[in-house]
Amino acid sequence: MPHAHTERDKKFAQCVLPEVEMLLRVATTLTARPGEAEQWVRDTLLRAYPMCDRFDGQQPRAWLLTLMHQARTDRPRDGGTQLPDGRGGGPVRALVGSLGRPGESLVVGPAFHEVVDSALAALPVRYRQVVRLVDIDGLSYAEAAGLLGMREATVTSRLRRARRRIRVRLAAAGLVPGRGER
Q: What is the pLDDT of residues 90-129, one digit of tens each?
A: 333 343 334 333 323 333 456 666 777 788 889 999 999 9
For the chain, the helix, strand and coil percentages under 3-state DSSP, each to the nearest 5: 70, 0, 30
Higher pLDDT, 158 or 180: 158
pTM: 0.55
pLDDT at position 176: 62
d(CA 88, CA 182): 29
Domain ranges in the chain are 2-74, 90-176
- Vertex 52: Cα angle to 49 and 57 (nearest 5): 135
Fold designation for 2-74? Rna Polymerase Sigma Factor; Chain: A (1.10.1740)
> Closest Cα to residue 147, out of 174, 105, 137, 175?
137
Whether 182 has a pLDDT exceeding 90, the answer reads: no
Share the mean pLDDT of the chain: 74
pLDDT at position 107: 36
CATH numeric code, 90-176: 1.10.10.10
Whether 1 has a pLDDT exceeding 90, the answer reads: no
pLDDT at position 27: 86
Whether 86 has a pLDDT exceeding 80, the answer reads: no
